[in-house]
Amino acid sequence: MHGRALGFAILLLLALSSPVWAQEKAVDNEGHQWWQNAVFYEIYPRSFADTNNDGIGDLPGITSKLDYLHWLGVDAIWIAPMFPSPHVDWGYDISDYYNVDPDYGTLKDMDELLAQSKQRNIRVLLDYVATYTSDQNKWFQESKSSRANPKRDWYIWRDGKGPGQPPNNWTSDFGGSAWKYDPATSQWYYHYFYPPQPNLNWRNPEVEKNMFDVTRWWYKRGVAGFRLDAVDVMFVDSQFRDNPVVDDKKNAFGDPVEREINDKNQPELHGVLQRLRKVADEYNAVLIGETWTNDIAQLRAYYGQGGNEVNMPMDFMFTMVNKLSPADFRKQIQWVDSSGGWPVYVLSNHDIRRVYDRYGDGQHNDQIAKLMASLYLTLRGTAVMYYGEEIGMENNDPKRPEDVKDSMGKVGWPTEKGRDGERTPMQWNDGTNAGFSTVAPWLPVDDRYKSYNVETEKKDPNSILNYYRQLLAMRHTNKALLDGKYIALNEDDPNVLSYARMYKGKSVLVVLNMSGVAQKVNLDLASKGMHATTAKTLLTSFAAPSQVNTGAISVEPFGAWIGETE
């Protein structure tokens, strides 16, 4: 072989065998990077697949399902925390950032998962829980050991207002005061979430250095990015001022409702995100934000100036549209689409009830699952799926307080039952425990699993699973769906949400009937500069002709029709 060719061949081999993605910086014609054209899929590791049959999902379980994910059309997975943890908050309380929890396997299993994913061109993102650690983390143990410990200032310690009184009125998101007294050193430490989740003090430069090193270490191992947990509460007011109390109402935990102006969204967090992004850029990695925002201005801030912060801040306001309301969705899509950043759509996750429950009417739930899939997977932007949505899993909420695993549900029962319902085991087949495990899983399998599971749905061409698969395939190949502009259509229609995705004179048309009544839709294309009168059907959730007249598209109750102008 010619010297240069040999060199190239060696480089290529190295690139293929190394789990690191840093070499690939390719953009498409529109300047879009890999993550803009990708479909992401969130995996809750405890509930995905159990290979050693202890009732708990594990990393080899994820590895064993990579072929399935590849078949489905997933480009990247985000694995919720799999680090060592006492599991007070099921992994969102990390005791060691440099290892894998024995429940889930070993670092070797992680390396195998990374290597196997790379072979299938699937990127792996981990969860970056950097706002707080577990109280079992050795950093906190040191910090707690004495006021003089060099790591004392790594966490937020304060004197009380008076005997038995916390430093201020801030409440925890999971109930009660956000301060916990430590009798050994006679000070209080701050925890926005559970008491065993002490917040790190990000004003201390050593914290920043150490936490940034965590990301470098994982990037070098082959991780392609992180989902950034709870960034909005990374900083608190440097003067520790009380939050204003809204009125005398109480929340689900019986605490006063506060306006969280001093314990949330402090401007300093953007500096950290910018610097964290610089590190990510060195590895061509991507950052997804758990970015709860009240309005578009706050969301826009997470993208940063010229896009120098979070690549993909998830728009949770979209998940707050909790009814099938075309008007509300239209408004939300319009806002995000015009925010200047690349939109990121999500419908459910391990904290947000499943689509089947939130939008289902109890009668047309399968149709509605396809309708919602057709929405977030055809918009301009990246979609983040949640495991099990593709087979129409529903929430399986605990019925008795003694069954609750999520501490939020333990504290808040019965008003707040917690999030176990959306975290139940993935349903792989119609066998014992839905093929998740041979023993009783850590959370009960939904009893609809006999019909709603991967194996059964694979065989049914009209299943929710096959609908998702076709949608994903279409998204990957159709230029208008990847790069096309979002154009709202028929904006006064109270029942049907319609839009076009226009790219170089070709348009994909999406017509979503959000009502329980059949509709005939006359798409007003002319007012948007489109002149097609007929369109080819690309995908529908009901039996539709292969060609339609754009002036009279019939859509069944809760039906979705997707077509292309000719």
Residues that bind ligand NOJ (CB under 6 A): 89, 92, 193, 197, 229-230, 290, 350-351
For Ca ion, which is the closer residue by CB, 43 or 544? 43
The SS3 call for residue 486 is strand
For ligand NOJ, which is the closer residue by CB, 65 or 350? 350
State the binding partner of 230 from Ca ion, ligand NOJ, none, CB within 5 to 8 A by kind: ligand NOJ
State the binding partner of 232 from ligand NOJ, Ca ion, none, CB within 5 to 8 A by kind: none
Least distance from Ca ion to the Cβ atom of residue 61, Å = 7
Q: Determine contact, residues 537/347, Cβ cutoff 8 Å.
A: no
Least distance from ligand NOJ to the Cβ atom of residue 386, Å = 12
Q: Which two tokens stand for residue 45?
A: 């590791």
431 vs 456: CA distance, rounded Å: 11
State the binding partner of 351 from Ca ion, ligand NOJ, none, CB within 5 to 8 A by kind: ligand NOJ
500 vs 562: CA distance, rounded Å: 10
67 vs 422: CA distance, rounded Å: 24
For Ca ion, which is the closer residue by CB, 104 or 342? 104
**Chain centre distance of CA 195:** 25
Contact residues: Ca ion, CB under 5 A? 50, 52, 54, 56, 58
State the binding partner of 350 from ligand NOJ, Ca ion, none, CB within 5 to 8 A by kind: ligand NOJ
Q: Determine contact, residues 466/451, Cβ cutoff 8 Å.
A: no
Least distance from ligand NOJ to the Cβ atom of residue 181, Å = 21
Whole-Å CA distances, 440 to 399, 480, 528:
17, 46, 56
Q: Which two tokens stand for residue 426?
A: 């993935």
For ligand NOJ, which is the closer residue by CB, 129 or 562? 129
Residue type, 230: A
For ligand NOJ, which is the closer residue by CB, 408 or 525? 408
State the binding partner of 269 from ligand NOJ, Ca ion, none, CB within 5 to 8 A by kind: none
Whole-Å CA distances, 53 to 50, 111, 151, 217:
6, 21, 40, 31
Of 473, 559, 452, which is closest to residue 510 (Cα–Cα)? 559
Q: Which two tokens stand for residue 195?
A: 């008491």
372 vs 455: CA distance, rounded Å: 22
Give exposure, 396-429, as e/b (b: 16+ Cβ within 10 Å): bbbeeeeebbbbbbbbbbeebbbbbbbbbbbbbb
Q: Determine contact, residues 480/465, Cβ cutoff 8 Å.
A: no
For ligand NOJ, which is the closer residue by CB, 92 or 179? 92
Least distance from ligand NOJ to the Cβ atom of residue 269, Å = 15
Tell how strand 519-521 and strand 553-555 pair up: antiparallel
Q: Is 229 a catalytic residue?
A: yes
State the binding partner of 394 from Ca ion, ligand NOJ, none, CB within 5 to 8 A by kind: none
Instruction: Work out the burial of residue 244: count CB atoms within 10 Å of its CB; fewer than 13 is exposed, 13-18 middle, 19 or more buried.
Output: exposed
Q: Which two tokens stand for residue 382?
A: 């990246």
Report phi then psi at 292, rounded to 5. Answer: -80, 125
Tell how strand 39-43 and strand 382-386 pair up: parallel
Least distance from ligand NOJ to the Cβ atom of residue 290, Å = 6
State the binding partner of 229 from ligand NOJ, Ca ion, none, CB within 5 to 8 A by kind: ligand NOJ
For ligand NOJ, which is the closer residue by CB, 289 or 557? 289
Least distance from ligand NOJ to the Cβ atom of residue 221, Å = 23
Tell me which of 282, 361, 460, 566 is the catalytic residue: 282
For 180, the enclosing helix (H) or strand (E) is: strand 179-182
- Matching residue, tokens 């499943």: 354
480 vs 472: CA distance, rounded Å: 14
The residue of the chain with the least Cβ separation from ligand NOJ equals 92
For ligand NOJ, which is the closer residue by CB, 229 or 309? 229
Least distance from ligand NOJ to the Cβ atom of residue 97, Å = 15
Least distance from Ca ion to the Cβ atom of residue 443, Å = 13
> How many residues can be counted in the chain?
566
State the binding partner of 58 from Ca ion, ligand NOJ, none, CB within 5 to 8 A by kind: Ca ion
The residue of the chain with the least Cβ separation from Ca ion equals 58
Least distance from Ca ion to the Cβ atom of residue 109, Å = 11
For ligand NOJ, which is the closer residue by CB, 35 or 92? 92
State the binding partner of 193 from Ca ion, ligand NOJ, none, CB within 5 to 8 A by kind: ligand NOJ
Least distance from ligand NOJ to the Cβ atom of residue 229, Å = 5
Q: Which two tokens stand for residue 300?
A: 């826009």
Tell me which of 42, 75, 89, 229 is the catalytic residue: 229
The SS3 call for residue 275 is helix
For ligand NOJ, which is the closer residue by CB, 73 or 225? 225
Residue type, 345: Y
Q: Is 556 a catalytic residue?
A: no
44 vs 332: CA distance, rounded Å: 27
Q: Determine contact, residues 83/184, Cβ cutoff 8 Å.
A: no
> What residues are annotated to the active site?
229, 282
